[in-house]
Amino acid sequence: MDLTARALGMFAALGKIPLGFYPTPLHRLERLSAMTGVDIWIKREDFSGASLFGGNKIRKLEYLLKEARDAGCDTVFTYGATQSNHAMQTACAARRCGMDPVLWLRAVVEPKAGEVRANLLLDAILGADVHILHIKDRAAPDVWQQFRPEIEAWRARLESEGRKVYDIPVGGSTPRGAVGFAHAYVELAGQCEAAGVRPDYLFTPSGSGGTLAGLAAGRALLHHNVKTFAVLSGHKPEGVYEDKAAGIANAALELLGAQERVAARDFTVLRGYVGEGYEIPYKAANDDIRLLARTEGLFADPVYSGKAFHGLMDAIRTGRVERGSTVVFVHTGGATALFAEPAIVGDLDGLS
C-alpha cells in the first residue's frame, strides 16, 4: 500500500478537530538561495491560523483538543513561560472549542506591571485565566515542582465545582500532540513531490521536542532519510533530550498503530545556537533575523525561529550544508515575541 495513503488513514482514524488552515504554504527563498548557492525552501507553519498569531502549536492542539472534547472536558490547563506561544495558541484553540483556558506561566522574564505585552496581552484579550508564577529556585532540577501544590489546589477546586479539566503539558509535546507534526511531515513531503523538490536537509526550531518528534515520526512513516536538524532554543541535557524526542516519536507511532520506530540517531540536535539561555537574545542571531527580513521580507522571532534560522545560516556558512544542496526550513511562528519585553527583543530595535 502507498505509504502516504496509509499514513493519512492513520491520522484520520485517530481524529482531530480542524483548527488551522492546512496545508500551510511551502515556497522558495529566491534571493537567499541565489546569495548562498543553497536551494532554500520554507514551510510556513507561522501561517497555520486560526488567528493571525498562529504557529506550530495549532497542529498539536487539533489532536489534543479532540481528546479533550471526547472526554467531556470544559477547561484546559497548560503551562509555559509568560511569553509562551504555546499557551496563547492553546487559549485561542480552547476558546474555539468552547472551553475555558487556564494558563500557568513561569516568569522567566518578569513582566512589568502596567506593561502587558505580546502573548500576555493576547491571553488577556482571550480572557484566559492567567496565573503568573514567580520563580523561587531557578536551579531546581524540575522547574515546575515548586508550583505543583498551587496548581493541584486550583484543579481540585474547579473539579469540586463540577468542572472537568484537560491537562496539556508544556508545548503540547505529548505523543498525541506530536501526531500533528507527523501529519505536517507527510503534508510537506507531498508538497515537495508536487514541486519537484528533493530536500537533503530539514531544519526545525526545537523547544519541548514535540515538533521534532512528530517530524521524525512522519519521516519514519514514509521511510524517508532526509537529514533532520533540530536547533534548540534553550539548554537541554545532551542525550536526554534526544532520547525524550525519540520516545515521544515512538509513542506517537504506537498510538497510530504503525510498526516503524525512530532512534535518536535519526536526527541531529544543534545546541550551539541557544546563546546564554531561553528568551535571551544575542547579536549574531539577531543579525540573521535582520538578514531574513532584508533579503526576503520575512520575520523570525528572537526566541525560536530566529535562533534556528541563524543555525541554518551558520551551517551554510561553514559548509555543513553544502552549496548545491536543498534545505527546507520549518518556520514555526512566534513573531509576537518581536513585541515582547526589550529583554527578549535585544538589539532588534536598532537602538540598543
Ligand X SMILES: *Cc1c(COP(=O)(O)O)cnc(C)c1O
**Do you find a cis peptide bond into 111, omega within 30 degrees of 0?**
no
Could you give the count of Cα atoms lying within 13 Å of 91 in the half-sphere of its Cβ?
24
8 Å CB contact between 248 and 173: yes
Q: What is the distance between the alpha carbons of residues 217 and 246, in angstroms, rounded to a whole number?
A: 8
Choose the binding region for ligand X from 111-119, 154-162, 250-258, 299-307 (rule: CB under 6 A): 299-307
Q: What string marks each residue from 86 to 115 as x (binds ligand X by CB under 6 A) or -? A: x-----------------------------
Nearer to ligand X, 55 or 175 (CB): 55
Nearer to ligand X, 24 or 211 (CB): 211
Q: What is the distance between the alpha carbons of residues 284 and 273, in angstroms, rounded to a whole number?
A: 9
User: In the numeric block, which cell numbers belong to residue 34?
Assistant: 541565489
- Of the residues 48, 84, 208, 305, only one is catalytic, namely 84
Q: What string marks each residue from 68 to 87 as x (binds ligand X by CB under 6 A) or -? A: -----------------xx-
SS3 180: helix
Q: How far is the CB of 315 from ligand X (least distance, A)?
A: 18
Q: How far is the CB of 213 from ligand X (least distance, A)?
A: 8
- 147 C-beta neighbours (distance < 10 Å), count: 17
Q: How far is the CB of 279 from ligand X (least distance, A)?
A: 12
Q: What string marks each residue from 180 to 219 as x (binds ligand X by CB under 6 A) or -? A: -------------------------xxxxxxxx-------
- Which position among 78, 83, 119, 173 is part of the footprint of ligand X (CB under 6 A)? 173
Can you say whether the dihedral through the CA atoms of 82, 340, 275, 241 is positive or negative? positive
Question: Does the protein bind ligand X through residue 171 (CB under 6 A)?
Answer: yes
Q: What is the distance between the alpha carbons of residues 234 and 33, in angstroms, rounded to a whole number?
A: 28
Nearer to ligand X, 275 or 334 (CB): 334
Task: Respond yes or no: is residue 206 known to be catalytic.
Answer: no
Q: Which residue type, as a one-letter code, is found at position 213?
A: A
Q: What is the distance between the alpha carbons of residues 78 and 170, in angstroms, rounded to a whole number?
A: 7
Give the interface size with ligand X as a residue count (CB under 6 A): 20
- Which position among 36, 48, 191, 332 is part of the footprint of ligand X (CB under 6 A)? 332
Q: How far is the CB of 107 from ligand X (least distance, A)?
A: 18
- Alpha carbon distances (Å) from 52 to 62, 183, 266, 294: 17, 22, 33, 22
Q: How far is the CB of 84 from ligand X (least distance, A)?
A: 8
Choose the binding region for ligand X from 24-32, 278-286, 298-306, 314-322 (rule: CB under 6 A): 298-306
8 Å CB contact between 23 and 270: no
* Phi, psi torsion values for 292, nearest 5 degrees: -60, -40
Give the active site residues: 84
Binding site for ligand X (CB under 6 A): 55-56, 85-86, 171, 173, 205-212, 301, 304-305, 332-334
